[in-house]
């Protein structure tokens, strides 16, 4: 295919996606409830849902078209092994975190450290046989107070995030300075400063996605274990693609004191499959595989609904976005039905909740309750 033909095809895709943003926004709001178009609140909701649609379009356009699709037969061995192992046996205990380097930096007045460590998640045999295992250099951003033990927040970012700017977008500075927390933000593979490093993640290959999330879980567990001797309490929270990671960690690490999930997803592969439908029939093979029962069996070891969080119900928080067009609202409902605990519904979109002062207040109240219940100052 010539460069001119590829450029023409990309231009056509861009025009189509941009042209569909507003119709998709209106359709999404009309499918929902609680939208009053002729009100300031309705205008804000329209803007937030349109932002969700723009982000989805950007992911679609930047993702390109993969050159090959894994066949269902190539997933059978891994699906059989992982489903037989179950969550607890598929995820092995991580080796202790050994610090390689620490670099200090500052962004918008917020001091932080970038810590690196080598990590091998010891993946199950079928994933290792596909060359998805092996050691990598993991990265975590830290905001630490000097002195003795403090409460720690482990914040697991979402898709397309992981840069130092997310320390600002997630209001880490406020939690760090005003609530007195030390904060760790592990950088998921394929994101932030790890964007160009092996392995790529997420992907349209279901095995890569399962291995990638298992890697993320293992790395975050290593960070949790490293913080615990320095901690008066440990809270793990995740946003969007980080929520299954946080959920699994809250089950596998039984000493965690609280867990918070923001605009949660359930199955990464199923979510990608859902949005591939935006491209019509051009990616049907990927969509059908990712949404199949075989892949659901494969991903059973990264299913948040299959775990029992260690924190008690009053130390579990689920924040959903009522007009979420990326994760949709069903995962938040299903998780609250399964987990119980505290829930809060933001009346906007998936991306917009990050900027909500109301969500910020809910988060800060939750963290204060946790430290108070644990007998920790804040």
Please provide the distance, in angstroms rounded to a whole number, between the alpha carbons at the two ends of the chain: 61
Tokens of 24: 């998709």
Residue 309 is encoded by which pair of tokens?
A: 């969080």
Residue 313 burial by CB count (10 A; 0-12/13-18/19+): exposed, middle or buried? Answer: exposed
pLDDT higher than threshold 90 for residue 272: no
Choose the weakest-confidence range: 27-31, 153-157, 176-180: 27-31
Please give the sequence-ordered ranges of beta strands (E in DSSP) within 38-156, or none if there are none. Answer: 99-107, 110-119, 136-143, 150-156
Number of Cβ within a 10 Å radius of residue 33? 8
Q: Which residues pair with 142 in a beta bridge?
A: 113, 184
Lowest-pLDDT range of 112-121, 165-174, 276-285, 356-365 = 276-285
Q: How many helices (H) and strands (E) does the chain have?
A: 13, 9
Half-sphere exposure of 365 (CA within 13 A, CB side): 11
Please state the pTM of the whole predicted model. 0.90
Q: Which of the four pLDDT bands, split at 50, 70 and 90, describes residue 71? A: confident
Exposed/middle/buried for residue 309 (C-beta within 10 Å: 0-12, 13-18, 19+)? buried
Q: Residue 353: which of 365, 344, 366 has the closest Cα?
A: 344
d(CA 36, CA 191) in angstroms, rounded, equals 37
Q: State percent of the chain over pLDDT 70.
A: 85
Distance CA 179, CA 198 (A): 36
Looking at residues 300-319, what average pLDDT do you find? 96
Do 94 and 221 form a contact (C-beta atoms < 8 A)? yes
Per-residue confidence band for 96, with pLDDT thresholds at 50, 70 and 90: very high
Buried b (16+ CB within 10 A) or exposed e, 280-299: eeebebbbebbbbebbbbbb
Over residues 229-254, the mean pLDDT reads 97
Look at residue 249 in the predicted model and tell me its pLDDT.
98
Query: What is the per-residue pLDDT for 6?
Result: 46
Q: Within 10 Å of residue 318's Cβ, how many Cβ atoms?
A: 26
pLDDT for residue 65 = 55
Report the pLDDT averaged over residues 93-100. Answer: 97
What's the longest Cα–Cα distance across the chain?
Answer: 66
Dihedral, 30, 36, 40, 45 alpha carbons, nearest 10: -30
Least confident window among 86-100, 152-166, 248-262: 152-166
- Identify the pLDDT of residue 3: 45
What's the whole-number mean pLDDT along residues 357-371?
95
Of 40-54, 110-124, 232-246, 256-270, the least confident: 40-54
CA–CA separation, 47 vs 356, rounded Å? 14
Overall average pLDDT of the 244-257 stretch: 98
- Report pLDDT for 282: 54
**Least confident span in 158-167, 208-217, 357-366:** 158-167
Q: Which residue has the tokens 């009100």?
A: 39
Residues in the chain: 378
In the three-class reduction of DSSP (H, G, I as helix; E, B as strand; rest coil), residue 202 is classed as: coil
pLDDT of residue 10: 45
Q: How far apart are CA 36 and CA 45, in angstroms?
A: 9
């Amino acid at each position: 295919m010539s460069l001119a033909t590829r450029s023409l095809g990309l231009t056509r895709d861009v025009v189509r996606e941009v042209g569909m943003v507003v119709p998709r926004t209106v359709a999404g709001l009309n499918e929902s409830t609680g939208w009053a178009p002729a009100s300031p609140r309705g205008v804000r909701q329209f803007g937030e849902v349109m932002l969700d649609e723009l982000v989805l379009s950007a992911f679609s356009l930047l993702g390109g078209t993969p050159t090959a699709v894994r066949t269902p037969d190539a997933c059978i061995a891994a699906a059989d092994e992982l489903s037989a192992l179950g969550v607890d046996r598929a995820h092995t205990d991580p080796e202790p975190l050994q610090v390689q380097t620490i670099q200090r930096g500052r962004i918008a007045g917020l001091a932080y450290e970038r810590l690196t460590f080598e990590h091998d998640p010891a993946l199950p045999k079928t994933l290792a046989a596909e060359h998805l295992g092996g050691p990598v250099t993991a990265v975590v951003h830290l905001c630490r107070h000097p002195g003795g033990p403090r409460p720690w927040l482990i914040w697991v970012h979402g898709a397309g995030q992981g840069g130092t700017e997310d320390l600002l977008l997630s209001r880490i500075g406020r939690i760090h300075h005003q609530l007195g927390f030390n904060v760790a933000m592990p950088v998921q593979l394929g994101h932030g400063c790890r964007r160009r490093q092996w392995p790529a993640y997420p992907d349209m290959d279901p095995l890569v996605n399962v291995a990638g999330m298992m890697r993320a879980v293992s790395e975050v567990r290593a960070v949790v274990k490293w913080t615990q001797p320095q901690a008066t309490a440990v809270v793990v929270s995740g946003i969007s693609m980080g929520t299954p990671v946080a959920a699994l960690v809250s089950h596998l690490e039984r000493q965690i004191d609280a867990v918070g999930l923001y605009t949660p997803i359930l199955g990464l592969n199923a979510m990608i499959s859902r949005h591939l439908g935006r491209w019509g029939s051009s990616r049907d093979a990927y969509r059908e595989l990712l949404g199949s029962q075989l892949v659901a069996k494969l991903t059973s070891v990264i299913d948040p609904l299959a775990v029992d969080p260690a924190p008690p119900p009053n130390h579990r928080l689920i924040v959903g976005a009522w007009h979420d067009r990326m994760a949709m609202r069903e995962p938040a409902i299903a998780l609250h039905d399964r987990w119980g605990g505290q829930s809060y519904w933001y009346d906007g979109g998936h991306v917009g909740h990050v900027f909500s002062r109301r969500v910020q207040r809910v988060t800060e109240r939750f963290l204060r309750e946790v430290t108070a219940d644990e007998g920790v100052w804040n």
